[in-house]
A and B are shown apart, each in its own frame.
Chain A
């Protein structure tokens, strides 16, 4: 039934392009387009991304344009479908993009914090006060109290908000789809800020989120949702580029990222928005461990 689709899309697209004067086709290198995965408040991300576009444009002497992504998978698809040239992705989506690109997509750089990334399990203050959950060193301690707690992951496609916390729960012998009170929740929009809000407001007793966003959150939110568990370290976010920009521009782009300097006020603003002190060069193989977790995770939550 999907057969008529490409034909139809072409038709629709022809009729659309016939409407107006044909804009000149831009060669790929005349302009760089990028996106970032929407793991946080979209307005905040857009603002930081526009700043980044300005700085990169100046450093590379090429116009750089930011395109907002609707969701995580969209960011991956945009890169593979030639709608953007490079993109800021999470650990799982970095592997997805490398796989989708089939040899044409490579990691450029990562943050200093991403090679030692963590997930926090945070609990609602009142649930902690009521003794329903207490800070723990070993996630296995959660098994005994899980039945009384509602739990939320972040976005289903998030590494620090879903993939890794689920992985560590499974390792601790806890099936997140059955162990908690009710079905475990996900945040369909808003990413980690939504998870924190959900736990702080009591909409969920327990939640798993990105440690960097938590550390940078408002004190009142943190007080309302204290940390009860910190996961072991893993690899997370990366800047990923498609080969179509050419080896030369890719190398310069990598240099532009790793050259962002906290001593320059304008560049510090960007590093602050990305919650790091600097970007480091990185290779695809560093994300192999995440791919292994992604592929070996029991997929019951998709059935």
Chain B
């Protein structure tokens, strides 16, 4: 690869990638057991439309009686507090493990330096495996296991979210640290700084902004995840959503949905507002203006106070639950909990079971493939209309002077694209499943579509941000006859590496969601694992559990490998 100079890059990647994607879509479509009655026959379609109309009519009249409102508000407060405390716990657990799982911290950069690095390599791999296990074991299992210790209350929810957030943050932080350009820390290394010193004074400050931005995004995602966990047994507003759906109480379902949408949208906008302050390029016209030293200190103190107040408020909301959880520790049945864990640790290696495990693993994989590709495509299509740079700031790099009429039109388009994405991601996957199950009935189709819609919303935000973060001067230099072509040939190719990273990360997220959704109709790995757990077939359940961890390890190692290969190029 050396000595040939930079490779010419096609704007949309080599055809091989397309072939691979097409093959993945085809294979995924074949693997799944589709329920498409609603689309394949006229009668089925008419019946589905009728069902949806009746449902929407029910949703249009939410139950706004005082006790229901009160209960929903309480559930929202609990969900929010659980998510915040869970994220805080996850960050404090995940950060140290991320240090051990980071290549640049443990091994330094550059080529492998011989066998004396072996112990460090082992630590590195062990830390990464731990992170994979934390993420790969589904949240609802964490909730079940932790409930043996802290009982049935929000304390268990905080711990369960904390564990999976630790796995998630640990992975991403270590990847972000490892992707810091080694040359940017060369000055430090040449003065003899150790790996840890290089990290503290070089890598960590350089990666701080994207890191903070990601932590904020995770905090906000934890709010949504708290609702998914609710469905599989974590309580909170997610459980209320599924209960009302199962009961067919559309009026109350509507109330719960409204509260849920309000909660996620508020979290989304708040996180976005904060993240906008963390733009990477300080010279970017959209970046926050430079502020004085005193003002910066005041801002920092304000942020710390805000975080402190939010955490203190969360503790206050959950105080009875946390107390109850601590009280439960006095009566842990260690023998039973230990037996349960030992049972889950030893898999059944019977060939018939292994074949079943392999077959059922294909379901979440296929869901994740289809939903991630579909979501990425939709997000990419919405990225142009949803880009502030291209809709409001285009005159800065195209030199055009749009009239007030056209400017209003562009603003409306921007608002529409961003609003659509906000709703797409504001409605959690489970709520999409509920909505789409009315049309398709329970099965694979609503699950795939739900994950795709939600991914489109999530990816649209980061896709549009990647476009907006491009320095305008690079766009200025691209010769293109109009905005559309400037976007397609100037902006997209430059944002594509970032898009790819986000899409790959979303794939891993979707894989886990595909497992969780198995329980609500998609079938496959999650459903079989849960079934065996419920039927106390622990050895078989263990085989499915190991498969989940193995899938996570595979996806993680592939994404790390792809990133390293790309950064070396």
With beta carbons under 8 angstroms apart, the residue of A71, A83, A189, A303 that contacts B246 is: A189
State how many residues of chain A have any CB contact under 8 Å with chain B. Answer: 59
Tell me the smallest distance from the CB of B216 to a CB of chain A, in Å. Answer: 23
Q: Which of B530-553 contact A (CB under 8 A)?
A: 530-537, 540, 546, 549
Q: Which of A264-300 contact B (CB under 8 A)?
A: 299
Tell me the smallest distance from the CB of B567 to a CB of chain A, in Å. Answer: 29
Tell me the smallest distance from the CB of A198 to a CB of chain B, in Å. Answer: 8
Q: Which of A43-84 contact B (CB under 8 A)?
A: 43, 67-74, 77-78, 80-83
With beta carbons under 8 angstroms apart, the residue of A1, A17, A99 that contacts B329 is: A17
Q: How many A-B residue pairs have CB under 8 A?
A: 164
**Known A-B contacts A13-B149, A157-B535; A82 and B332 likewise in contact (beta carbons under 8 Å):** yes
Which residues of chain B have C-beta atoms less than 8 A from A19's C-beta? 315, 322, 326
Please measure, in the bound complex, the distance between the C-alpha atom of A176 and the C-alpha atom of B217, giving whole angstroms. 45
Binary CB contact string for chain A from 1 to 33 against chain B (1 if under 8 A, 0 otherwise): 111111011101100110110110110100000
Which residues of chain B have C-beta atoms less than 8 A from A132's C-beta? none
Please measure, in the bound complex, the distance between the C-alpha atom of A183 and the C-alpha atom of B360, giving whole angstroms. 14
Assess the B523–A183 pair: CB atoms within 8 A: yes
B239 part of interface (Cβ distance < 8 Å): yes
Which residues of chain B have C-beta atoms less than 8 A from A188's C-beta? 242, 246, 519-521
State how many residues of chain B have any CB contact under 8 Å with chain A. Answer: 75
Which residues of chain A have C-beta atoms less than 8 A from B536's C-beta? 73, 96, 99-100
B103 part of interface (Cβ distance < 8 Å): no
Which residues of chain A have C-beta atoms less than 8 A from B327's C-beta? 23, 25-26
Please measure, in the bound complex, the distance between the C-alpha atom of A206 and the C-alpha atom of B332, giving whole angstroms. 43
Assess the A301–B531 pair: CB atoms within 8 A: yes
Tell me the smallest distance from the CB of A215 to a CB of chain B, in Å. Answer: 19
Please measure, in the bound complex, the distance between the C-alpha atom of A69 and the C-alpha atom of B247, giving whole angstroms. 17
With beta carbons under 8 angstroms apart, the residue of B147, B162, B329 that contacts A77 is: B147
Assess the B322–A20 pair: CB atoms within 8 A: yes
Please measure, in the bound complex, the distance between the C-alpha atom of A183 and the C-alpha atom of B523, giving whole angstroms. 10
B353 part of interface (Cβ distance < 8 Å): yes
Which residues of chain B have C-beta atoms less than 8 A from A100's C-beta? 336, 536
Please measure, in the bound complex, the distance between the C-alpha atom of A201 and the C-alpha atom of B250, giving whole angstroms. 13
**Known A-B contacts A20-B323, A83-B328; A78 and B152 likewise in contact (beta carbons under 8 Å):** yes
Which residues of chain B have C-beta atoms less than 8 A from A202's C-beta? 47
Which A positions have Cβ atoms within 8 angstroms of B? 1-6, 8-10, 12-13, 16-17, 19-20, 22-23, 25-26, 28, 41-43, 67-74, 77-78, 80-83, 96, 99-100, 156-157, 182-183, 185, 187-190, 193-194, 197, 201-203, 299, 301-303
Sample of 12 more A-B contacts, CB < 8 Å, known A1-B130, A23-B323, A74-B144: A2-B341, A6-B337, A10-B149, A12-B159, A17-B326, A28-B331, A41-B243, A73-B534, A77-B144, A81-B333, A83-B152, A302-B537
Q: Name 29 A/B residue pairs within 8 A (Cβ), A-sorted.
A: A2-B133, A2-B341, A6-B338, A9-B145, A9-B146, A13-B149, A16-B322, A17-B329, A20-B322, A20-B326, A23-B326, A25-B327, A69-B152, A71-B233, A71-B534, A73-B144, A80-B336, A83-B151, A99-B536, A156-B534, A156-B535, A188-B520, A190-B247, A193-B246, A194-B247, A197-B247, A302-B531, A302-B532, A303-B356
Which B positions have Cβ atoms within 8 angstroms of A? 33, 35, 47, 51, 89, 93, 129-130, 133, 144-152, 155, 159, 162-163, 231, 233-235, 239, 242-243, 245-248, 315, 319, 322-323, 325-333, 336-338, 340-341, 344-345, 352-353, 356, 441-443, 519-521, 523, 528, 530-537, 540, 546, 549
Which 4 pairs from chain A and chain B are nearest by CB?
Answer: A190-B246, A25-B330, A70-B233, A194-B246
